[in-house]
Amino acid sequence: MKATAAVFPATGAPVAFHEVEVAEPRDSEVLVRMTATGICHTDLSVRDGIIPFPLPAVAGHEGAGVVEAAGRAVRTVEPGDKVLLVPPSCGVCGPCGTGHPSLCEVSALRWSGRRLDGTPVLALDGAPLAARFLGQSSFCSHALVEERTVLRAPRDVADTTLAPFGCGVVTGAGAVLRVLRPGPGSSVVVLGAGAVGLSAVMAAAVTAATRIVAVDLVPSRLELARELGATGTINGREAGDLGAAIRELTGGGADFVVETTASTQVLRAALSGLARGGTVGLVGAAAPTEQLALPLVQLVSGAMGLRGVVMGDGSPAFLRALIGLHRQGRLPVDRLVQVYPFERIDAAMADAAGGRTIKPVLTFG
Ligand SMILES: [Zn+2]
Ligand SMILES: [Zn+2]
């Protein structure tokens, strides 16, 4: 069938809209008509060649939509169902088998641009077009994905709110609720108040943590962080010594730090604000060449933990729980979203890159 795709033609080039050919769904596949898709910094990194993915390509990995067709072996959804696109996983490797599908060992599901057998799912002018980006490629009117990449979603959640649950929301909220798990009376410091950081703030606000501190450079984002549950904020531009500012607002040091900026400079500055025995969750996606130098003595004597977190260690059950929290009004993801029509993807990406929009979400049709 034909679909309309926003194609990244070459490194750094503006998006080009094309009519593309979508392959027929196989037995295990689902064809989703997209209704909304979020833009994440990982998409910008692909466009800019920072994260390697074969171009030209269709990116996008935060999608919501309606099932249009399902293969014969598909059991969990049927045509007409509203769905959220979620990170891909194989279902049989070690991490998948132990409830950690975000750590699935089959990285070709995320990065190869094709099905596992090498066949393309999209074609442009008769030539294969890289897709299946992070298992999805939601910057297209239709996404042909594996059944494990869709999750049936409740109809009463707006599609524009639902879409970012698949990456930005689960990444920030999962870092807090699935990985760091702050206990009663603990303190959580979130470095960076973008979509991931603010999702971490909202998640911390549904735990028994009593001090939640957001750090950013943009005053309006810090204000929003307060409205979403932060008990204190630090403007990194104004705080001379970030570690000292963190120690002050946490009453001695942070038990948990969620690092979303992917800046080694920010991380090093924040480390001196970590409490003894505290843990840093590393969430921000750095360039593959980025290296980190840390004071080893401080790490050891402070009994500090450094923990990488991938997609919030999310799972379908956890995503359902997050959507449930949202429906109760306890995870107001809609506060992060600004809606743009699909045709304005370049403007939306520019607003995301420039920090003017926290979570741009594109709508179709
Ligand atoms: Zn993402
Ligand atoms: Zn797997």
CA of 318 to the centre of ligand 2 (A): 17
Taking residues 255-266, report their average pLDDT.
Answer: 95
CA of 302 to the centre of ligand 2 (A): 35
| 10-61 confidence digits (pLDDT tens) | 998 999 999 999 999 999 999 999 999 999 999 999 999 988 899 999 999 9
Taking residues 133-160, report their average pLDDT.
Answer: 98
CA of 164 to the centre of ligand 1 (A): 8
Q: Give the closest ligand to the alpha carbon of residue 37.
A: 1
Taking residues 354-358, report their average pLDDT.
Answer: 93
Q: Give the closest ligand to the alpha carbon of residue 62.
A: 1
CA of 88 to the centre of ligand 2 (A): 8
Q: Give the closest ligand to the alpha carbon of residue 108.
A: 2
Q: Give the closest ligand to the alpha carbon of residue 168.
A: 1
Pairing of strands 274-282, 254-259: parallel
| 96-131 confidence digits (pLDDT tens) | 999 999 999 999 999 999 999 999 999 999 999 999
Q: Name which of 135, 134, 165 is nearest 29 in CA terms.
A: 135
CA of 158 to the centre of ligand 2 (A): 30
Taking residues 155-174, report their average pLDDT.
Answer: 98
CA of 5 to the centre of ligand 1 (A): 19
Per-residue pLDDT at 12: 86
Higher pLDDT, 290 or 318: 318
CA of 122 to the centre of ligand 2 (A): 24
CA of 356 to the centre of ligand 1 (A): 18
Per-residue pLDDT at 288: 80
Please check the confidence at residue 323 and state whether its pLDDT lies above 90: yes
Q: Give the closest ligand to the alpha carbon of residue 89.
A: 2
Please check the confidence at residue 289 and state whether its pLDDT lies above 90: no
Please check the confidence at residue 241 and state whether its pLDDT lies above 90: yes
User: How large is the angle between the packed helices 242-250 and 264-271, nearest 10 degrees?
Assistant: 50
CA–CA separation, 112 vs 100, rounded Å? 21
CA of 146 to the centre of ligand 2 (A): 13
Please check the confidence at residue 189 and state whether its pLDDT lies above 90: yes
Pairing of strands 232-235, 211-216: parallel
Percent of the chain with pLDDT over 70: 100
Per-residue pLDDT at 119: 98
Domains (range + CATH), the chain: 2-153+332-363 (3.90.180.10), 171-311 (3.40.50.720)
Per-residue pLDDT at 273: 96
Q: Give the closest ligand to the alpha carbon of residue 87.
A: 1
Ion ligand 2 neighbours (CB, 5 A) are 89-90, 93, 96, 104
Q: What is the mean pLDDT of the chain?
A: 96
CA of 90 to the centre of ligand 1 (A): 19
Please check the confidence at residue 287 and state whether its pLDDT lies above 90: no
Taking residues 209-230, report their average pLDDT.
Answer: 97
Per-residue pLDDT at 254: 98
